[in-house]
Amino acid sequence: MAAMTAVTDEDQGNDSGTRKADGRWDDGLIARRAAAAATRGTAEPVPRAPADDDPAPQVEAYAPADGPLPTRLDALRELVGLSRARLDRDTLAEAGRVLDEAAARQRLSSRHTVIAVAGATGSGKSTLFNALAGATISDTGLRRPTTSQPIACSWTDGAAGLLDRLAVPGRLRRRPHPGPAASDEALQGLVLVDLPDHDSAATEHRAQVDRVLALVDAVIWVVDPEKYADAALHERYLRPLAGHAEVTFVVLNQTDRLPGEAADLVLDDLRRLLDEDGIAVGEHGEPGATVMSLSALTGDGVPELRELLGRFVQDRTAATRRLSADVDAAAARLRPVYVAGGRAGLGERARDAFTDRLAEAVGAAAAGQAAEREWRRNASRACGTPWLRLWRWYENRGLPGSLDRMGQALTPPEEELTARQRVEQAVRTVADDAAEGLPGPWAQAVREAAFTGAEGLPEALDDLAVRAGAPGAGKRGGETETETGRDTGAGAQPGGARPAKPPRPKWWPVAVLAQASMTLLQIFGGLWLVGQIVGVLEPGLVTPALIMLAGVVGGPLVEWACAAAIRGPARRYGQDAERRLREAAAGCGRARVLDPVAAELARYREVRERYVTVTKFSTTGR
């Protein structure tokens, strides 16, 4: 057969090239370029209408279909962008490669379909490549490996960009031999690439196979009766590319070596192996890989393969299907970092439990009890008998501060550590609850957000406790004292300010007046009796004794009645103080811990929605 010419944008003819004595290929291109340059240098350019046999190359940019692929690529691009700060570079490397290759393919011609012919040593792939091209383009023979670099054959012009992307040298770009193969209208747009052996002993050959297989639109795997079950083929290529079944052809070659019905038996066994690899075989009109047998040497079955390739090329969806399969594969690899078994989120029960733990750590209940005691103490001061108040003053006059302050001074340092540990336990528990059901990287991001926000939380809660006057709080400063040296109690203000006294009921002045009246009765009755004893007044013990007894009995009765009346308001005041401190602690914990955790969960839900969009229109069911 005649030698093939290299495919270039300038050379559209079918002139046969010649090989020089030194072995270098010469198709006349360099000479024509030199002549054209000399002509331009000596004369003005003359417009030349393209001849019928020298058409200008036409390159049609890739026009993506209106299907789901553009939406999936956009979602995958957003998914990668949102995940860069949470996932390592290696995890996103494959998705980034798919996006880059998709963008590169979409910038190139959509009229061409690039199909690689791959196979093992001695499988006859180069022979099949030549049979499809109708000429001896790729060398065949007993020397192994025969093919050392990819060789391309393009049926139409405009494929230079695609071949540049595959890094096929210009000297290895060919056109089919003039004849039935070249003039087949169904094959117009086909770019066939013969690859080196995938099991070659040369490492660089295997590297070229792996590189080109990641870039072509479809693959024809050529197997022979001896090595069709080779583990290297199935484990390294067919099984990982099971999702690319719609752009895969598996051809059993060299059937002329099999006697009788042996070819059908081997073909059935090949289908069984493909099924075990997870490759769907396209039969009865169902999508999947094309599996057939032929003999490239005798030509038996080659026309049928050429017809299948013609329909495949004219469909012009190979590139889209290949990119969709690549997106499916990338999404399948990313599934462990976006999908987990449980349901992600932070429920109200976990939030309430976190608030309860913070309230316990800040001492909200103790602050409420202290506020209630302060209310009762103020009521006792206002409504109690003066003799009882005098006795209490006498008992406390030699003590340095109140009993509450003494309790704080005697509190062991371990109590503060216990409060800090309670805060840390609360943060750790809510982080674990929020991370439950999340994939590993996102669970770690949620925990980091919680622990980072919790830095300084114990100190902030301690400040809240100081403001509320909670017992045991304010060991680092901030306590205030009243003029009598007592603890400020509930409502204490930082910085030495006086505490806000509990509000007094409207009936307190009446109770104070009644208690003062009882005291005056006691004093009046006592003075009357003293006057009778010293003889200043007329004797008569009954009346002054009754008056004094009324004051003595009435004072405690008034105090008891006031104590009973203030029980409800004091309890409500303590509950309000506990609620305020609890809400303040909850607000502090929400701003420092819950809000950052919620932001991480919102980010995860956003990327999860993008991932669902990527996998929603999967063509492989992954």
pLDDT band at 618 (very low <50, low <70, confident <90, very high): low
| One-letter amino acid of 611 | Y
Q: What's the pLDDT score for residue 462?
A: 80
State the pLDDT at residue 397: 62
Indicate the average pLDDT of the chain: 77
User: What SS3 class is residue 473?
Assistant: coil
pLDDT of residue 312: 94
In this structure, are residues 51 and 99 in contact, taking their beta carbons and an 8 Å threshold? no
Give 512-554 pLDDT, tens digit per residue: 777 777 778 778 777 877 887 777 777 777 777 788 777 777 7
Residue 393 has pLDDT above 80, yes or no: no
All structural domains of the chain: 65-338 (3.40.50.300), 348-595 (no CATH)
Across 424-451, average pLDDT: 90
DSSP 449-481: HHHHHTTTHHHHHHHHHHHHT-TT--TTS---B
Question: What confidence category does residue 579 fall into, taking pLDDT thresholds of 50, 70 and 90?
Answer: confident
Model pLDDT for residues 464-505, shown as the tens digit of each residue: 777 765 555 554 333 333 333 334 333 444 443 444 566 666
Is pLDDT at 244 greater than 50 in this prediction? yes
Query: Lowest-confidence range among 67-76, 394-403, 416-425?
Result: 394-403
Per 3-state DSSP, what percentage of the chain is helix, strand, and coil (rounded to 5)?
55, 5, 35
Q: Given this model, what pLDDT does residue 103 score?
A: 94
Look at the alpha carbons of 279, 285, 287, 290 in this order and tell me if their dihedral is positive or negative.
Answer: positive
The whole-angstrom separation of Cα 236 and Cα 258 is 27
Say how far apart CA 620 and CA 280 lie, in whole Å: 9
pLDDT score of 532: 77
In angstroms, the CA 302 to CA 308 distance is: 10
Does this model's pTM top 0.85? no
DSSP secondary-structure letter at 593? I
Specify the pLDDT at position 45. Answer: 37
- Residue holding tokens 């993008």? 610
pLDDT tier at 622, thresholds 50, 70, 90: low
More confident residue, 133 or 45: 133
CA 75 to chain centre: 13
Q: Which two tokens stand for residue 216?
A: 């072509």
pLDDT at position 67 over 90: no
Report how far residue 490's alpha carbon sits from residue 487's, in angstroms, rounded to the nearest whole number: 9
Sorting pLDDT into bands at 50, 70 and 90, what band is 574? Answer: confident
What CA–CA distance (Å, rounded) separates 114 from 128?
16
**What's the rounded mean pLDDT across residues 49-62?**
40
Mean pLDDT for the stretch of residues 246-263 = 92
Under the banding of pLDDT at 50, 70 and 90, the label for residue 283 is: confident
Q: Say which residue, 392 or 291, is predicted with more confidence.
A: 291
Q: What residues have CB less than 8 Å from 57, skipping those under 6 apart?
A: 9, 12, 157, 158, 160
Taking only Cα atoms into account, the Rg of the chain, rounded to an integer number of angstroms, comes to 46
The residue type found at 40 is: R
Length of the chain equals 622
pLDDT, position 176: 85
Residue 438 near residue 346 (C-beta atoms within 8 A): no
Q: How far, in Å, CA of 258 to CA of 295, rounded?
A: 10
DSSP state letter for 350: H
The answer on pLDDT for 335 being more than 60 is yes
DSSP 214: T
